[in-house]
Amino acid sequence: MIVFATASQKGGVGKTTVCINLGHALARRGWNTLLVDTDPQGGIGLSLSKNTRKKRGFYDFMAKGGEARRLIIPTRLPEFSILPSGSADEFMRGTDFENAPEKLRDFLRQIDLLGYDCVILDTAAGMTSMTETVVRGADWIVVPQQAEPLAVRSIPLLMETLSRFRKEGSPVRIAGILLTMVLNTHEASLKVVRELRQMLPPQLLFQQDIPRDNLFLEASAMGLPIALMRKNPPATALIFDQLAAELEERTGLGDRKEQDHSHASLLD
């Protein structure tokens, strides 16, 4: 099982949208994928269904323990499941945050026993104490970053933070920085993309960008990943399939598929 965390220094970068659509794309590619909402505000639940806000979830486990499998909600796609945030009130009021890393490890151990290939941990905006705990416990971090001038200044701080985590024993590695809300008709946005690609080594930036598209708002209003909006998925949905393929290559996830599936001919 590979654990991905998504985190960003600021809100409003499309992080939850990326999590939902990337998780769905990985599942469509055959990976048994669990999307976990570790944002106390429950962004995933708000994006997909108001009913999930009433269900127990991640923070109920962090406060009381129990069986993580009972918190999982299946979707129409058998390979894609969701674990909502639940109620964070009790955890935030009464928990010693020093125990949070061990509770997270217990949570992930239980999830691993359920046979998932990928776990995606969506986090709150900014590097809060809980977000730091989640990122430290992940194998890889995906960093959505809006294509705006502030990105050029904030990325060095992020890299310093991740370097500190690794020096302190965390296994987390950066899968890549994902540029989001790219306006292909806006010169300022394109200038940021060019500057970052010139400034950073290729392995730090995903080749795939996420454009600003009203379809994401429409999909969120419908409670769906963008690929399920129509019988024939819109072209924008293919972006996340390409991103999932790139993530497979960057993290070695695709190597596991090659090991698990022997070559077969088309007809025999």
CA distance 140 to 6: 9
Rg (the chain; Cα; Å): 18
Please list the pLDDT of the chain residue by residue as tens digits (268 residues).
Answer: 999 999 887 777 778 889 999 999 999 999 999 999 999 888 887 777 767 767 899 999 999 899 999 999 999 899 999 999 998 888 877 766 778 999 999 999 999 999 999 999 999 888 888 999 999 999 999 999 887 777 667 778 888 999 999 999 999 999 999 988 776 777 777 887 888 888 888 888 999 888 887 777 787 777 778 888 877 777 778 899 999 999 999 999 877 665 555 555 545 5
Residue 16 CB burial class (10 angstroms; 0-12, 13-18, ≥19): buried
230 belongs to a structural domain: yes
- For residues 30, 245, 243, 105, the Cα torsion angle rounded to the nearest 10 degrees is 60
The rounded distance, in Å, linking the Cα atoms of 25 and 244 is 6
Residue 259, token pair as written in the block: 């090991």
Query: Are 226 and 219 in contact, with CB atoms under 8 Å apart?
Result: yes
pLDDT at residue number 157: 84
CATH number at residue 218: 3.40.50.300
Q: Look at residue 266 in the predicted model and tell me its pLDDT.
A: 46
Residue 265 lies in a domain: no
Task: Provide the whole-model pTM.
Answer: 0.90
Strands lying side by side in the sheet with 118-122 = 73-74, 80-83, 33-37, 118-122, 2-6, 140-146, 173-180
- pLDDT, position 223: 72
Residue 239, domain member (yes or no):
yes
If one counts the domains in the chain, the total is 1
33 closest CA partner among 94, 156, 122: 122
Beta bridge mates, 180: 146
CA-nearest of 255, 247, 215, 251 to 26 is: 247
Asked if residue 176 is part of any domain, the answer here is: no
Q: Is 225 helix (H, G, I), strand (E, B) or coil?
A: coil
Range of 76's domain?
Answer: 2-141+207-260
Residue 146 falls inside a structural domain = no
Is 153 within the bounds of a domain? Answer: no
